[in-house]
Amino acid sequence: MNNIDALKELLYKMADDQLILGHRNSEWNGLGPILEEDIAFSSMAQDKMGQSEHLYNLLNQLGEADADTVAFTRNAPQFHCSHLVELPIGGYDFSLIRHFLFDFAEYLRFEALKTSAYQPLAQVAKKFFGEVKYHTMHANTWVYQLGHGNEESNSKMQESLNFAWNYALGMFEPGPAEEMLINENIFIGEEALQAKWLEVVIPLLEKSNLVIPEQSSWAPIYGGRIGNHTAHLQPLLSEMTEVYSIDPSADW
Amino acid sequence: MATEDQTAIESLDPRIGRAHLSGGNHEDMTGLLHFQTYEVFHQNKRGAQHKHVGIVHAPNSDMALLYAKEQFARREQTANIWVAPSSCIAATEYADDDIFTTTPEKLYRNPATYKVMDRIQAFKERGMTPSDEA
């Protein structure tokens, strides 16, 4: 694996996470708990898909197929998304916890990438940093509200956190050639990113009256980055690509 | 209080199917009583005045700010947003709107009718003296 392949691996996993979570979160469109939240959550889902398009365009510049082809013609084993983003939306408690855990990771990833030696990626990170910052504000405000709401809201959030935690740790599955990216100051690497993430999310979750799962139970769920996925991904892809597979030139 | 309609909603939209929604009870708002409305004020650039743009429903100001951003700052340039509980707004009564009846006639209050440029020019030429500041 040369450094271009290592860079592509980084771009693919970021873009695939955004695309799949964007699609997942868009499933709440029209079903959100109140009108304002419905609009906010749907907007953020759009943001995620927009971000993925920019990263697919960077991949296109590195010789990969164009964004639509890459997004709509691959099957599950060709995707590099983490298991966390594939899981069904569940209840709003789970979708919010996933949103919280994912978006703080993305925020810190973008923050690190703002100074990446690979300029096109640094530019994308700078461009979307504010967008992702709002996503973390939204996530943290909600988690705080429900963590402090009542016994029912707190216990639902706690159960979702317990369920999501090892999936969330799976976001930081080490890449096969990360040393190259680290040595060339392109990316800080998943291990360093996870350390930053733990430093940020643990105090925030504790402030929200939630308990971090016992460290002895931490067992990251890996596999997504190398194409091993949950059974939930392929049905999502089939639904997402329904129009494209009927008419690849369809426009709207 | 109306009873919940247990008829499942059928829809061609797969998201609706997945949600297993019953018919719901849209009369029952008791669960939302802790929500209030917030007035939203939008500023398009620093230094500009904040303009009232609408309301959002939210349980507190933190949530109201989250929603104000997505409802009222999703397309236009934005520098800052304020929210304030609607209950904090004091307003005139529409029944008393006769207090405004004659104001549109008072054209002399329209700045276009001020004839002050000569006075300003004279002031500038004279220069400000210490007695002007007193």
Residue A230 is given by DSSP the state -
Q: What confidence category does residue B125 fall into, taking pLDDT thresholds of 50, 70 and 90?
A: confident
Q: Where are the beta strands (DSSP E) in chain A?
A: none
**What mean pLDDT is predicted for residues A141-155?**
97
Across the interface, do B70 and A39 touch by the CB < 8 Å criterion? yes
> What's residue B134's pLDDT?
46
State the architecture of A3-246 in CATH terms: Up-down Bundle (1.20)
> What's residue B107's pLDDT?
80
H helix intervals, chain B = 14-19, 61-72, 117-126, 130-133
Residue A247 is given by DSSP the state -
For A227, half-sphere exposure in the C-beta direction (CA atoms, 13 angstrom radius) is: 6
Which of A25, A27, A28, A36 is the best mutation test for B, with the most CBs of B within 10 A?
Answer: A36
Using an 8 Å CB-CB cutoff, list chain A residues near B63. 141-142, 145
Nearest chain B residue to A27 by CA: give it. Answer: B15
Residue B100 is given by DSSP the state G
Beta bridge partners of B52: B41
pLDDT value at A147 more than 80:
yes
> What's residue B132's pLDDT?
58
Please name the member of B13, B14, B56 whose beta carbon is closest to the beta carbon of A36.
B56
Residues 6+ apart with CB under 8 A from B77: B44, B45
pLDDT digits (tens, 9 = 90+) for A23-62: 999 999 988 888 899 999 999 999 999 999 999 999 999 9
Across the interface, do A138 and B66 touch by the CB < 8 Å criterion? yes
pLDDT digits (tens, 9 = 90+) for A73-90: 999 999 999 999 999 999
Q: What confidence category does residue A169 fall into, taking pLDDT thresholds of 50, 70 and 90?
A: very high
Nearest chain A residue to B74 by CA: give it. Answer: A43
Q: What does the domain layout of chain B look like in residue ranges?
A: 94-128
Q: Quick check: A38 and A30 in contact, CB under 8 A?
A: yes
* C-alpha to C-alpha distances, B133 to A166, A208, B127, B128, B130, nearest whole angstrom: 72, 57, 12, 8, 5
CA torsion angle B131 B132 B133 B134 (round to 10): 50
- Counted across chains A and B, CB pairs separated by less than 8 A come out at 48
Across the interface, do B69 and A37 touch by the CB < 8 Å criterion? no
Can you tell me whether residue A33 is helix, strand or coil?
Answer: coil
B55 interface with A at CB cutoff 8 Å: no
A9: which 2 tokens?
């691996």
pLDDT value at B3 more than 50:
no
Q: Where are the beta strands (DSSP E) in A5-137?
A: none
Q: What does the domain layout of chain A look like in residue ranges?
A: 3-246
A3-25 as b/e, with b when 16 or more CB fall inside 10 Å?
A: eeebbbbbbbbbbbbbbbbbbbb
Q: What is the ipTM of this complex?
A: 0.80
Q: What confidence category does residue B104 fall into, taking pLDDT thresholds of 50, 70 and 90?
A: confident
Using a 10 angstrom Cβ sphere, with 0-12 exposed, 13-18 middle and 19 or more buried, the burial of residue B38 is buried
